[in-house]
Amino acid sequence: MSNNSANWLTRFHRLGSPPSFYHLAGALLPWVALLCIGLFAAGLYGGLVLAPADYQQGESYRIIYIHVPSAWMSMFVYAVMAASSAISLIWRMKLAEAVARASAPVGATYTFLALVTGSLWGKPMWGTWWVWDARLTSELVLLFLYLGYMALVAAIDDRRTASRAGAVLALVGVVNLPIIHFSVEWWNTLHQGPTLTKFDQPSIALNMLIPLLLMAGAFKFHYLYALLARVRIEILDSERRTAWVNALVSQRPS
């Protein structure tokens, strides 16, 4: 039993070692890209062409196919960032630091998109671009958390100190995630309640739901691609003085 778990740990460690992760990520990237593009094609066709108009909102509801995946990903990426920050603080694992740092700009992009597409949806339906209700405000706070994390990490010269300071900030901000999620239940807001993540049946027709799930999958793979590509850069940067990076760059015709 202990032998088995030790074996598993070494394998995990080897995967977490910078050179093997660098190469593994490089091999995975084309496949991730392919899946992502395929899901986007299917989701966009389903969402923009096949799905019917909404009984209340007409065609304008089609913004849901980018707004909801962006909003989900804005929280998912933060959860990944916070989890890898915790791992990097406790186990001092370099790869976890790289994942946290690489996630921040991608998560900030999703948060920005959730806010902008929500605003473009809110104007025709609610009658306003913006309202300071609990859901919108807490999502805006999430954007500031991402930007604060990026600024903090960029401001500290020493790589590991920067990662550690950022990790503490990321963990402090994790309290915002349940606030965003439950804001529409805890307080009265202009934003509507959850459609899919409530316990009874999702209140969306199946031919509208399937494209939404496809788009959510496409966004997941988009994040995976952006994450792997960025982690590779983080690895190259932090390992620039090591023998394997030297061997890698001298192989290249310059």
Partner 1 sequence: MKPRRRQRLLLVSLLVAGVAVAAGLALLALQENINLFFSPSQVVAGEAPANTPFRLGGMVVDGSVRRSDGSLEIQFDLTDTAKSVTVAYTGILPDLFREGQGIVAQGSLGTDGIFNATQVLAKHDETYMPPEVTEALEKAKAMGVQ
Partner 2 sequence: MTEFFQMGGYAMYVWPAYAITAAALIITVISPLRRRLRMLRELSAIAAQRDIHRSE
Q: Are 236 and 22 in contact (CB under 8 A)?
A: yes
Binding residues among 129-148 for partner 2 as defined by CB under 8 A: none
Residue 5: name its binding partner from partner 2, partner 1, none (Cβ under 5 to 8 Å by kind): none
Residue among 124 and 178 whose Cβ is closer to partner 2:
124
Residue among 66 and 170 whose Cβ is closer to partner 2:
66
Q: Is 199 helix (H, G, I), strand (E, B) or coil?
A: coil
Q: How far is the CB of 149 from partner 1 (least distance, A)?
A: 15
**Is residue 56 at the binding interface for partner 2, with CB under 8 A as the rule?**
no
Q: What's the longest Cα–Cα distance across the chain?
A: 63
Q: How far is the CB of 107 from partner 1 (least distance, A)?
A: 18
**Is residue 67 at the binding interface for partner 2, with CB under 8 A as the rule?**
yes
Containing 76, the helix (H) or strand (E) segment is helix 64-91
How many angstroms separate the Cα of 209 from the Cα of each of 35, 135, 226? 20, 22, 26
Q: Are 173 and 146 in contact (CB under 8 A)?
A: no
Rounded distance, CA 127 to CA 84, Å?
Answer: 40
User: Using the rule CB under 8 A, which residue among 11, 92, 123, 198 binds partner 2?
Assistant: 123
**Is residue 109 at the binding interface for partner 2, with CB under 8 A as the rule?**
yes
Q: Which of 142, 169, 146 is nearest to 71 (CA)?
A: 142
**Is residue 50 at the binding interface for partner 2, with CB under 8 A as the rule?**
no
**Is residue 79 at the binding interface for partner 2, with CB under 8 A as the rule?**
no
Query: Residue 130: left if φ>0, alpha if ψ -120 to 50, beta else—which one?
Result: beta
User: What number of chain residues touch partner 2 (CB under 8 A)?
Assistant: 40
**Contacting positions for partner 1 (CB under 8 A):** 52-57, 60-61, 64, 86, 89-91, 124-128, 131-134, 168, 171-172, 174-175, 179, 186-190, 192-195, 203-205, 207-208
Residue among 188 and 252 whose Cβ is closer to partner 2:
252
Rounded distance, CA 17 to CA 244, Å?
Answer: 12
Per CB under 8 A, the segment of 57-65, 83-91, 172-180, 181-189 that binds partner 2 is 57-65
Q: Are 21 and 15 in contact (CB under 8 A)?
A: yes
Per CB under 8 A, the segment of 101-109, 166-174, 175-183, 187-195 that binds partner 2 is 101-109
Q: Is 58 helix (H, G, I), strand (E, B) or coil?
A: strand
Q: How far is the CB of 32 from partner 2 (least distance, A)?
A: 10
| Owner of token pair 């500031």 | 144
**Is residue 62 at the binding interface for partner 2, with CB under 8 A as the rule?**
yes
Q: Are 121 and 60 in contact (CB under 8 A)?
A: yes
**Is residue 232 at the binding interface for partner 2, with CB under 8 A as the rule?**
yes
